[in-house]
Amino acid sequence: MDKGKRSVKIFIYGLISQVITLLLGIIIPKLLIVSYGSEVNGLLSSVRQIFVYVALLEAGIGTASLQALYAPMAKGDHQKTSEIMAATDHYYKRTGVLYGICVLILALIYPIFINSEIPMPVVAGVIIFQGASGVINYLFQGKFAILLRVDGKSYITTNATTIVNVASKFAQIILILMGCDILVVQGAYFVINLTQMLYITWYVKKHYSWLDLKVQPNYSSLSQSKNVIIHQISGLIFNNTDILVLTYFCGLKVVSVYSLYALIINCVSNIIDTICSSVEFILGQAFNSDRQRFLKLQETYETYYLAVSFAFFTVTLIMLPSFIEIYSVGITDAVYVDKYLPFLFVVLNILMYSRRTSSQIINFAGHFKQTQLRSIIESIINLSVSLVLVYYIGIYGVLIGTIAALLYRTNDVIIYANCNILGRKPWKTYRRWIQNIVVMIVCVWMINYILPPMNDYFIWALNAIWVFLLCFGMYFAVDSLCDRKSFYMIKEIIGNAFLKRIKKKK
């Protein structure tokens, strides 16, 4: 299968996965809140964030392995690929054991310190079921997911995840409606997730029969992991501090409000990630084998990636307030409707995701050590501003803290990638930002002016469709007009793919 087909498959399957995850994902929190209360929903969100920090035990091996595998996979060097994978396997198994120990310790300690009316045994049980999935991932399927991603076959993992998510979420919905205990609900989720591990392991053994994990591990190929871990620590503090700070200072009900907005925004973000990952392996291999081709691809990719990112978040900013109003009907133990939260969440994510193209260049180049101090500064800004402002303005404070850090780091990433790696000025990237911000302001003002009131999901969905089409049309038109070289190149790529398909049919 050629790279173009792989890229399309990654995108299509990833998009289907995210849409299904979004639809099922927004149902379960509502059921949890109505059936068990906002505190239980807040507890689940808080525990998930804790295990994100426990994942630091991975020590950057995954990212270092990903970067190390691009070159040998592009050259078809099976021996070196096996050596890198053997080293990855060794580190991941060690991580799985340590992760399991942490799960047990947290199950004993966390219930003592949390301020909640939820019984301690229930809290401990939730932690064990949440953490057990991580243990299984590191012991069995984690290393294989990295290999599939580098080879442009992440759609295999995506499809497995989609099927498992659908099955587990349907099981959760049925159990909640039956009035089962929350531990039974979490247990069902864990058991069904085991099937994904079995499938991924079987797939890799069947389709990568040349892979030998018993060869001498190439530990030196993962030496960058020491520098990656600094980025991971900073990234985890940056991306996951908000819920933990809110858990301590504001309580689980506020965490539930935050997590609901974050859930919807993350679903949108994951769709953008799907688009990104569908071509990431092509860019990564080109960077390590054909720099001139990479530069041409990068220009086109950045133009339309920024357009797509801004378009999705523009639709979110317009449609999220009315969705929350409809969604929160019947919930009385916490206030979910807020006129400022959609704006803050969207600003935060625009700053985060629109720097992705520049971040990828840094990752492809392996400049982890050179940029680790900058990543630390980002986390310090985020944590310090959040801790100060949460006293005065609560949930708004932690979001403003994250935005403050992003204003620094996003500009730093853009400047570093362009000046230090590509050897050019960052003006093109900034110019694309400016043109997309202008389009965003126009779209939000114009559509909000004509958008009718909405009081049910059907009317909301009908309006979301035309808002989506209008926003994407405007972004595509403006960005294609301002970046004509990118437009001609994407036109050429699509045209060549179409001609190739016709020739195969003949």
DSSP annotation of 339 reads S
Residue 316 pLDDT exceeds 80 = yes
Handedness of CA 56, 384, 40, 111 (dihedral sign): positive
Q: What residue spans of 116-220 are helical by DSSP H?
A: 120-136, 142-150, 154-177, 182-207
456: confidence class by pLDDT, cuts 50, 70, 90: confident
What local confidence, expressed as pLDDT, does residue 404 receive?
A: 92
DSSP letters, 112-130, are: HH---SS-HHHHHHHHHHH
What local confidence, expressed as pLDDT, does residue 66 receive?
A: 76
Q: Confirm if 189 and 171 have CB atoms less than 8 A apart.
A: yes
Mean pLDDT for the stretch of residues 117-141:
78
What local confidence, expressed as pLDDT, does residue 203 receive?
A: 87
As separate numbers, helices (DSSP H) first and strands (DSSP E) second, the chain gives 18, 0
443: confidence class by pLDDT, cuts 50, 70, 90: very high
Mean pLDDT for the stretch of residues 122-133:
80
Q: Write out the two tokens for 74.
A: 């592009």
The 3-state secondary structure of 288-309 reads CCCHHHHHHHHHHHHHHHHHHH
400: confidence class by pLDDT, cuts 50, 70, 90: very high
State what percent of residues in the chain have pLDDT above 70: 84
Q: What residue spans of 178-290 are helical by DSSP H?
A: 182-207, 225-249, 252-287
Mean pLDDT for the stretch of residues 453-461:
88
Q: Confirm if 144 and 156 have CB atoms less than 8 A apart.
A: no
Most confident among 26-30, 293-297, 383-387 (mean pLDDT): 383-387
Give 55's Cβ-side CA count (13 Å radius).
26
Higher pLDDT, 451 or 18: 451
152: confidence class by pLDDT, cuts 50, 70, 90: confident
462: confidence class by pLDDT, cuts 50, 70, 90: very high
Q: What residue spans of 37-77 are helical by DSSP H?
A: 38-54, 61-75
Q: Write out the two tokens for 460.
A: 């909301």
List, for residues 254-307, the tens digit of each pLDDT value: 878 888 888 888 878 877 877 766 666 677 767 767 677 777 778 888 888 899
Q: Residue 2: which of 152, 125, 138, 148 has the closest Cα?
A: 152
CA–CA separation, 426 and 415 (whole Å)? 6
CA–CA separation, 318 and 338 (whole Å)? 14
